[in-house]
Structure 1
């Protein structure tokens, strides 16, 4: 009840969706006013961003990046090309109409060229200034709120938006997201100096997943009946699109690289219960490319398609672990699996989830 939720400057906001979320929480009796604070510097997703998201992705043909088409890429593109609109702009009766007029001159031409429908300036001004009015009560100085909380010793949790290999710089480009999602980007995205962060937790499934068309290379990908079995058992379908996620064996080459890149202090390993019943469990411990053993950074995205994974096989376990709450009660084969991950990545596992509920969590010392 005392928790504050911050939407910082580095977040891009779909105001319509956010307003609906606020309404749904209030209907459930959750007090939002005075607990939700939004940075006025956050950039705003408009309808044309979503249209362009689809147009640009379709234009790539067989090499689509499988965007969610919610406008994230185009809104970030506008941000860095000086055409972005911030939340604060929606409240300015002079600035917003002028900015949207300048932007629509360009967007209309692109959308028309690809056969899209026309955009109405008046409708945009009316609709988005109305969104601004509804969100105004939640606007706050998030920089001050966050830094005061950190400096006064309060618990502050920053949540990453995506997996590390969707990072715009270090991921499998171009099959990535629109921004940097590393923990070090907290400085730019929230205004808190990364030196103040005392713990960085890497969240890792016991297998890999990815939502796309299949264009992005995934060296440990599992296909066929086994992939379908894991997908159904673990309910691995995209939260936004509903599309089935691709499934792969755990790739410790990538996990080790991510640990070094992010300076991970500990790991939280999830979905351990999904592996129950497997006779053996392969884990990727290296790559072979053109006959030579290589690391993740030794090849680019296209060359990653030709990489062959090197697997280490672990004996599986058949015991039901979904009700276990203490690490020492786990089957020996299960513990061997986790302890190898720790040795390979040089990062200790502190949290293991053995089911979807909060109480299905093992805290490992």
Structure 2
């Protein structure tokens, strides 16, 4: 019974959804461990583009019977139903019969979204705007804050006990009005949100489950009763499990470029806190892997340090390279619609990510975006004051004042899209991939060469 984890290795938007889509064809259970509808995964199948935010991407595969939104997630309920409807309108069948939500996951209210925007706008006045985090304004941060402060609302409260969650939401609204003032929340109506959520409660009950016995049974933990939800159509009670990471390691609340991060644990640790019942020992099962998804260059949405960013502050030539990466790679956020900042591949960052997440395999994505470049560069070392750093630093001041050493590769200037094997890739492209593989110390198993499902070289 293999378990496969697919985790983002940079600042998100690496293309995790495509690999999850491929792997989900042989999985019975696909899980989301953390985050909310601030995530964005794009999958192209038969020239149809599907965008996923809070829903696990396994829903695109009819053979994937269970798609679980885990305890570590926060769920905006109107967005949950809107996303289900959008998938159905694009022809996906049985999505409502294959989605579950942990009863311990937290509800992300409209109120949280309003507060997120208010807080972000206030940050614009800090240090000349340097305090802006660049959040998606989806309410994720305020929701996690209320969770940690023990003020939040879990799904078991929402579907089972009317008065508790209603009073908690009213208390949250009163607290935020005291904090930000009535004027800041003048467009929000708590009674309207209560009425809206009451309209969802009856339908929600069919999706809400106790996650722990479901996952414990799936991985074969002793002493846990069998649940019908874990059984596959052929009677197999030990399904293949696929864990779909959201965001990425450098956005992790503990291991990312804090405070320019998301509000959850997006790395390996968050998988086991967000998906209780999934034993760490399951990763020792034959066929289990931790896959780090790595874009062939680097991008970032929002504020925060970005050592290899290519912009006019470096030189007009570098600015042109950055603009080309953005344009050719169509680097626009799925969730926010914001243009992504672009830069060369950062080996220091990816080696740090691999050390934290313990990758056993790598998926390099969007290699084809580099097809027309005359040169391609990789950041190999950081220096501060002439001293080489041994790892990716936590110190934001250090990140702002780095001297970066690059290795330059000759561009292959040949199309990689359509290549079916590693040997078919241009020589320079193979050398680029092999260099990354050798330096990170993790085998590159998959290489993305285009947006479609079939645009993937498997080694």
| TM score, norm. by length of structure 1 | 0.95
Residue 179 of structure 1 is aligned with which of 236, 242, 264? Answer: 264
Query: Structure 1 residues 121 and 55 mapped into 2: Cα distance closer, same or farther (>3 Å)?
Result: closer
1:168 alignment partner, SS class: coil
User: Does structure 1 residue 318 correspond to structure 2 residue 404?
Assistant: no
**1:217/1:302 contact within 8 Å kept:** no
Q: Distance in 2 between matches of 1:46 and 1:285?
A: 43
Q: Is the 8 A contact 1:236 1:245 kept in 2?
A: yes
| Structure 1 segment 220-299 matched on structure 2, within 5 A | 220-223=308-311, 224-298=319-393
- Name the CA distance, whole Å, in 2 between partners of 1:196 and 1:87: 27
Higher percent of residues as helix: 1
When the two chains are superposed, the root-mean-square deviation of aligned CA atoms in Å is 1.6
CA contact (8 A) 2:70 2:275 kept: yes
For the pair 1:200 / 2:290, whether they are aligned, the reply is yes
Which residue of 52, 58, 70 corresponds with 1:8? Answer: 70
Matched, 1:76 2:144: yes
Are 1:326 and 1:363, in contact at CA under 8 Å, matched by a contact in 2? Answer: yes
**8 Å Cα contact 1:108-1:119 kept in structure 2:** no
Partner of 1:201, secondary structure, is strand
CA offset digits 1:324-352 (Å, max 9, x no partner): 01101111111111111111111000000
The corresponding residue for 1:85 is 153
Partner residue, 1:211: 301
In structure 2, C-alpha distance between the alignment counterparts of 1:15 and 1:285, rounded to whole Å: 44
Q: Is the 8 A contact 2:68 2:101 kept in 1?
A: yes
Where 1:146 maps in the other structure, the secondary structure is helix
SS at match of 2:205: helix
Give the Cα separation in 2 of the matches to 1:34 and 1:47: 26
On the 8 A contact 2:305/2:399 being kept in 1, the answer is: yes
Per-residue Cα deviation, 1:113-164 (whole angstroms, up to 9, x for no partner): 6633164443232222222222111112332222322325421111111121
Q: 1:110 to 1:315 in 2, by over 3 A?
A: same
What SS does the aligned partner of 1:59 have?
helix
Please point out which of 49, 52, 60 is paired with 2:112.
49
1:12–1:42 contact (8 Å) kept in structure 2: yes
Cα pair 1:19 1:134 within 8 Å, conserved: no
TM alignment of 1:93-172, pairs within 5 A: 93-112=162-181, 115-117=184-186, 119-151=188-220, 152-172=237-257
SS of 1:282's partner is strand
**1:57-76 Cα deviation digits (max 9, x unpaired):** 12222121110000000000
The 5 Å alignment of 1:299-338 reads: 300-338=395-433
C-alpha contact 1:257 1:296 (8 A) present in aligned 2: yes
Shift of 1:274: 0.7
Asked if 2 retains the 8 angstrom alpha-carbon contact of 1:55 and 1:114, the reply is: no
1:298 deviation in Å?
4.3
Q: Partner residue of 1:66?
A: 134
CA deviation string 1:205-264 (max 9, x = no partner):
01100011xx41111111222212111111100111111000010000010111111010
Q: In structure 2, do the counterparts of structure 1 residues 78 and 299 end up closer, same or farther at CA, with 3 Å as the change threshold?
A: closer
1:48 to partner: Cα distance: 1.4
Moved more, 19-28 or 41-50: 19-28
Higher RCO (C-alpha under 8 Å, 6+ residues apart): 2
Gaps of 5+ in 2: 1-61, 221-236, 312-318
